[in-house]
Amino acid sequence: MTAALAVVALALLIGWSVGPTLSPTDRILRAVAASTVAALWLAAAIGHVAALRFTSPADIDAAAGGSPDSAQVAMAQAVLRNTLEQVVLAIPAYLALAWVVEGSGAIIPMLAGLFSVGRTLFWAHYARGAEARAFGFALGFYSSVAALVIVLVALVGRLI
């Protein structure tokens, strides 16, 4: 978890130092693109569960939608739940960052990239246990939380 936080902090430092100042419209467009990336991760997780659950007409008709390998379905559903939780944080974080922070032009795509790397690692290592998937989880989570903290600091700064 500490390593993921360090990666997010480093990415923010780099993004802050090289980021161009963009118009509000361009920042919002970047946030919409980043939000689309996050939503596509959710769509992929939903599609994965559906592919596992609905392999035959009997599966489609079944109320539980079970498949021959219910452990695999349970794992896919857990990944889906976690992805939904992560997306619920990421999308408003990207949009708020774009709306409030003028220098967020390079940061938003970097955060979306970290989110995607985190989701990939989480998904790929899920079956190996909590320790194996912790870095992926933390990378996505901390990138979204960092955006929200930056927004909060910027808003408090405007009030003071």
What pLDDT score does 133 carry? Answer: 95
The CATH code that applies to domain 2-159 is 1.20.120
Interval 17-38 mean pLDDT: 91
| Helix/strand number for the chain, H first, E second | 6, 0
What pLDDT score does 63 carry? Answer: 44
What pLDDT score does 80 carry? Answer: 96
One-character DSSP codes across 37-73: HHHHHHHHHHHHHHHHH-SSHHHHHSSS---S-HHHH
Tens digits of residue pLDDT in 84-141: 999 999 999 999 999 999 888 889 999 999 999 999 999 999 999 999 999 999 999 9
What pLDDT score does 18 carry? Answer: 82
**Mean pLDDT across the chain, nearest whole number?**
90
